[in-house]
Structure 1
Amino acid sequence: MISNDIIRSLRYILKTNNAGLVRLWALAEAVATPEMIDAWVRKEDDAGFQRCPDIMLSLLLNGLIYDKRGKDESAPALVTERRMTNNLVLKKLRIAFSLKTDDILAILTEQQFRVSMPEITAMMRAPDHKNYRECGDQFLRYFLRGLTARVNPKPEKKA
């Protein structure tokens, strides 16, 4: 998935606006203006669309981790990746929302996406590990949709 799609999804999950995203980038000591974000969250075929650099997505996810889990000044700063993969996005979201492998499995099962526990753990491994598995766009899309449903559950309709 391109960085822009992930940013759009995160904005929806967090129920925030451009100012909220600016705040997350600031937590990671990055500068993003509302105008930049506006160009990044547009659809690809809209006028004014700009592709978001991977490093900015990495910084946004780092800011999200700091926002959700707190920033430990004694610990080293989170690594800012220059090239983001779906696996790295999945790992950073897992950290930010304090998800265990069982939680990821439950999220995907609720979305009727069939996946096994070993497949999920293989996606969390280092790329040079023999059992490493690449996280596909469809997997990440279903995960983001499921995370949205978990973070923002729809109210039960009364009969």
Structure 2
Amino acid sequence: MINNDILRRIRFIFDYPNAKMIKIFAKANHEMTQELLINMLKKESEEGYQPCNDKIMCSFLDGLIIEKRGLKEGAEIPEPASQLNNNLIFKKLRVALEMREDDIISTLDLAEFTMSKSELGALFRKPGHKHFKECGDQVLRNFTTGLSLKHRGK
């Protein structure tokens, strides 16, 4: 999925205003200007659209984890990954929202998307593992749709 789309979806799910989004970036030591944020939230076809690179997206997700769960005592804010994929984005959202397998499956069910525990587990395995499976855009899209229905209703 496109990072900008994920950023827009998360903003919609939790109904975050610009100031809150900027504070979330700040929690991961990333300075975000209001102008850049607004441009990243625009659709690709809109004038002024700015793509959200993997490092910026990772900073936001790390900030969201810190926002939702706090920073463990003695822990340092992680350096943002230079490359993201859907598996890592899904994993960071799961951590931020403190979701277990059953929570994720019920969230996917809200979006009328069925996934077994073993299929879900394969998405969170290390890439070299023999049962690792890449997370497709459809899974991530349905997960964010389910989160939207869970947090905002129909």
Q: TM over 0.5, yes or no?
A: yes
Q: Could you tell me how far apart the structure 1 residues matched to 2:13 and 2:110 are?
A: 16
Alignment of 1:5-154 (within 5 A): 5-153=5-153
2:89 is paired with a residue of what secondary structure? Answer: helix
| TM-score when normalising by structure 1 | 0.93
| Structure 2 portions without partners, runs of 5+ | none
| Distance across 2 between alignment mates of 1:99 and 1:79 | 23
TM-score by length of 2: 0.95
How far does residue 144 in structure 1 lie from its aligned partner after superposition?
A: 0.3
Partner deviation per Cα, 1:78-133 (whole Å, 9 max, x = no partner): 35211111101100000000000111111111211121111100000011111100
Distance (Å, rounded) in 2 between the aligned partners of 1:90 and 1:79: 18
CA-atom RMSD, angstroms? 1.1
Retained in 1: the 8 A contact 2:13–2:152?
yes
Aligned residue type for 1:126? K
Deviation, structure 1 residue 153: 3.2
Structure with the greater relative contact order (CA < 8 A, sep ≥ 6): 1 or 2? 2
Query: Offset at 1:76?
Result: 4.0
The residue identity in structure 1 corresponding to 2:16 is T
Count how many residue pairs are aligned between Structure 1 and Structure 2.
154
Contact 2:110 2:150 survives alignment (8 Å):
no
In 2, Cα distance between equivalents of 1:123 and 1:79: 23
> In the aligned structure 2, how far is the partner of 1:38 from the partner of 1:77?
25
